[in-house]
Amino acid sequence: MKKLTRAETVYRALRQAIIEQDLGPGTKLPEDEIGAPFNISRTLVRQALARLQSDGLVEAGGKKTATVARPSLSESKDVFRVRRALEREVIRIVAETWTSENGTLLESHLNKEDAARETGDERISVRLAAEFHILLAELTQNPVLIDYVTQLVSRCSLILALYGRPHATDCAVDEHRNVVIALREGNIEEAVRQMDHHVSLVERRALNDDVKNGPRLSEILSRHASEIQAEQATDTIAIHERQVKRQA
């Protein structure tokens, strides 16, 4: 697996921090403070911020300090409207190309969501909930659809951080499981209905605007960077072990 560049690590750490709602809407993102934990230049930080801006997660431009995006209620409704349409298409494609391997991958992810719910780790639950939808999109093997769904899911996580009630992990996991059950049964219309119902409920939870206080930006990014590097190291070890087994 190709090692991440420092700029890519910054991008992923910021994106993950926003999705997990560690960095709330309106949070300032000073280039110097972002670059410090990674020991990188402001130029590389700007590259990461530009990518996040194109993802709709950051507001930047001019001489003002970049901030985590703060979408309006009207814009938020538009995002969910488009997301529902694309999620329906994802479900139809996955259902039409369904394999037992797909079922295994989705079931494995649901188990991770259950584990996070049991531990009460809200931050991980939020991330896994988003990743469930991205995994479904990846199963379509349609790069364009994957990119759009990933962006929309990320923006919805941001919207929930701005307007939403606390993440209802019990509801989310059960709703995801209902989608997978319908897919396993080969009931395309029911799977589409379950996904549509789920996304509508997620949107409905976006009602309250709570101000959240937390740790400093540098502390948040350092933690997320460590997690990303640990995940990459684990993936590298797994790849090496598979190669050893093939050679044996």
Instruction: Tell me phi and psi for residue 142, to 5 degrees.
Output: -110, 100
**Alpha carbon distance 103, 98 (integer Å):** 8
Q: Give the pLDDT of residue 207.
A: 45
Instruction: Tell me phi and psi for residue 97, to 5 degrees.
Output: -115, 25
The domains of the chain, with CATH numbers, are: 1-69 (1.10.10.10), 73-204 (1.20.120.530)
Question: Alpha-carbon torsion 8, 211, 87, 134, what sign?
Answer: positive
Across residues 150-161, what is the average pLDDT? 90
**Alpha carbon distance 28, 59 (integer Å):** 10
Place of tokens 């190309």: 97
198: buried, middle or exposed (CB in 10 Å: 19+, 13-18, 0-12)?
buried
Across residues 156-160, what is the average pLDDT? 87
What pLDDT digit, counting tens, does each position of 125-138 carry? Answer: 888 999 999 999 99
What pLDDT digit, counting tens, does each position of 95-116 carry? Answer: 999 999 999 999 999 999 999 9
| pLDDT band at residue 233 using 50, 70 and 90 as cut-offs | low
Pairing relationship of beta strands 58-59 and 67-68 according to DSSP bridges: antiparallel
**pLDDT surpasses 60 at 37:** yes
- 10 with 51: CB under 8 angstroms? no
Lowest mean pLDDT among 89-98, 126-135, 226-235: 226-235
